[in-house]
Structure formats: structure tokens, C-alpha cells
Amino acid sequence: MYARTRASADSFVLMRDQIRDWGYALGPVTGLPLTGTQSTAGGYALGPIYYWILWLSRVLVGPWTNNLPHAGAIGISLLQTGADLVLLRALKKKSGSFWLALATVLFGATISHDLAISSTIWNPAVSVAFVKLSIALVLLKGDQRSTWWLVVTTVCAWFSVQAHSAALFFAAPVLGFFVVRDLRANQFAAAWQTTRTVLEVILILELPFIVHAMTPSPSPGPNLVGDSVARTLSNPASLRVGPSLSVLLGTTSHLLLTPYAIGWGPWLFALCVIVAAVRMRRDAALLFTTILPLAVAVGGFAVWQRNYDEYWFLPFVPSAAIIVAWALTSIRPREMSLALLVIVLALQPGRLRHSLTWYRMPEYRALSRGAREIRRQTAEVRRIDTSFPLPGLSSATFLYEVLGGRLSPTAAFDATIDREGHAQFVAVK
């Protein structure tokens, strides 16, 4: 938790997307969007769970931060940390080793990219949290037939998809596990009932999106996913299985190893996948939550005809961390589990330092201090400037308005915030 939030109050990224999303969170729950964020691949994410989490963060954490937007980062980090603890319990039960479970969770939870996005408000971090919860639920009681457990697991898996569409390639095999479990036991009626339950839960969760789809609204832009699928169907030779596999191995290994990335990282990760698959071959729960999501992702991303973004692969990091841990502890598990924990702990300083080098806006500290000072002095100003340059998509006035201040053309003062967060007032002539 500390690693994710330690600098959010001083360097929170306050750009256009964060301003928009926190603006929704400041309103009533009935005013939240019915979809997720707009996707870089076209269209919108398939549901509003991201905005629900932000709204809850504002309600629960906001009173401690004057409702400033870094409360959203704290809320998302709390969700992430809670998911880590549930996954720790599940991996301990599955492996029988607390040290292996701890090493695995730390390995996946403290990659610098994940820590960086958890310090701001961005939907992939929410997706990763629900991915961890889904894995944990399958590992804890996936072999037991419980309708309520199935429903909760389906909710978590589908929430990961609503938060970040790439997680569809994770959710499909995870939910398929329950159907395959029943089929392997020759329980065909139970398999049908399981399938029906999963689909009904997804339908209920998609009701907000369906309502949105039935309401006339401006086009979100070109549907690049649809274009890629259509192109692949019309020209099967354009299917990019090789590039997709290469990107998944390269990007996943880079996420896990940064800032200690090595040239042969993808080959090492590929070897870990093979070794882990052999070790897990009789454990369907592990296979369907680790190996199969990566395999499905290769097939899913193969239809994409454009460049890949690294953050698309964040939902697969928890699975990848388990794969690496299980592969490295195949021989002498007890000794290797302790060795792995030592290695992971040794990685922490570099990872923590590197996480502070991206998705940061040092100007946020001055903006938040200045906004508080201006609000203490007056409830309205004509304008707010800064004595230092701001990123083009940021705002000098948003935090002041969050605190209850307002901009008025008839106000008696203009205000300027300096780099130390102090405000100077100039009377309007």
C-alpha cells in the first residue's frame, strides 16, 4: 500500500482524463457513466466498474483529502492491496508454502509499471485488482460446486473486463474452468447450469452498458477492434500469431523485470511457461488461471493489426508471476521458495525508484497547496495562474473548484500559485 501511494499526494498526474473521471466521482452515483472509459482501440470499456470504484474512493477516502483527486489513487491502491492479501492466502493454500506465496505476490504486485499507474486514477489498475481476486477465488474453492462462489468469481472476472477490455482474454478461460470442471466429471447437466449462471451474471452486469447502447449518443470514434477483426476474417493470412506471441513474451517479461530488463528475458519467460505447464499439468485450476489466459491472449491479440501498448498486458502480470514462481521452484521447492523471496526483496529498491519516474506530475504538490490557500482566503476569484509551466492537458483551477471555490468574472482578485504552493493575490482593476 505504501509503495503505491507514497508520492501520490505530491506528484499525482492531473491531466484531462483524471480531471474528467474525478469530476464524475464528485457527483452523485446516479450521474456516473453507464460505460467504462473510452478505449484507445475504439468504443468504450464494457461497463462502469471503474467509475464505481472511483466514486467509492471519493466517498470513503475523500473526506481525508478534502475530496482532492489523489483520494482516487488511494482507493484504487486499497483495492489492489486487498486483492494481494486474498491472493496471498489462496497461493499459500495451493502451494503449502507461505514463503512461495509471499514471493509470488510481491513479484507480481510491485512491478514498477503497476506501482506507477496505481499512484494515479487509471482503469488498468482496477482491472489488475479484479484479476487477482478472480485467480484467488478459483484457487481457493474452484473445485467445489457452489453457486454463490461461481457468481462471485464471475462478477470479479467480468469486472476485470469492464475495467480493461484486454482482460477478456483472462476472463474467458477462468470462467471456462468451471464448465470444464463439470464436463470432466461427466456432469453435463451441471455444466449447462454453470454456463447458464455465468452468462446470466454477465448479462446483469452488462445492463448499464446495454442501456447506454440503446441511448442515442455521440460516436466514440472509429472501432479499431472491429476493423481489425473484419480485416482478419476477410484475409486469414493477416492473422498475426507470431508477432502476438513475440509481443506477449517480450512485454510480459519486460514488465516483470524492469528496470532490470535483460535481452534474453523473453526466452527465459518462455522457458518458465513450459516448465510451469509441465508442473501444473494435473492442476486445472492453476492451468486455467495462468497458462491458458496467456495462450488465449496470443490468439486474441493476433487479430490486432496495429501496434501494441504495454499497459494492455498488465492484467496478465499476476498469472505471469505465478508461472515464473512455479517454474523456478519445480526443484527443491522449499529452498527455492526462500531463494525466490530473497531475489524478489532484492528487486524492490530498484522497482520502487523506477516507479517514481513515470506517470508523475510534480506540479501537483504546488497546485494542491495553492488551491487550499486560495480557498482559505476567498470563495471566488476571477482567474488562477501559475508562475511555472503546467502540462498542456492539466488545469490550474480544477483543484480550487473541487474545494468549493468558484471562478467569477466579477470577482475582486486574481490569484497566482508559485512553485512552493503559495498564492499571491492581485486586485482586479
298-309 pLDDT tens trace: 998 888 767 888
Q: What is the mean pLDDT of the chain?
A: 91
Query: Which of the four pLDDT bands, split at 50, 70 and 90, describes residue 242?
Result: confident
The rounded distance, in Å, linking the Cα atoms of 178 and 138 is 9
pLDDT tops 70 at residue 243: yes
- Identify the band that residue 229 occupies on the pLDDT scale cut at 50, 70 and 90: low
pTM of the entire predicted model: 0.93
Helical axes 317-328 vs 265-279, angle rounded to 10°: 70
The tens digit of pLDDT for each residue in 381-427 reads: 999 999 999 988 899 999 999 999 999 999 999 999 999 999 999 98
Can you give the residue ranges of every domain in the chain?
2-355, 363-427
* The pLDDT of residue 222: 47
Place 236 in a pLDDT band, splitting at 50, 70 and 90.
low
Reply yes or no on whether the pLDDT at 31 is more than 90.
yes
**Distance between CA atoms of 178 and 285, rounded to whole angstroms?**
9
- 3-state DSSP percent of the chain in helix, strand and coil, to 5: 65, 5, 30
Please give the order of strands across the beta sheet that includes 384-386.
Answer: 384-386, 413-417, 423-427
Helix residue ranges per DSSP H, 47-122: 49-60, 70-95, 98-109, 112-118
pLDDT score at 403: 95
Q: What is the pLDDT of residues 331-356, one digit of tens each?
A: 999 999 999 999 999 999 999 999 98
How many beta carbons lie within 10 A of that of residue 369, not counting itself?
18
Q: What is the DSSP letter of 37?
A: P
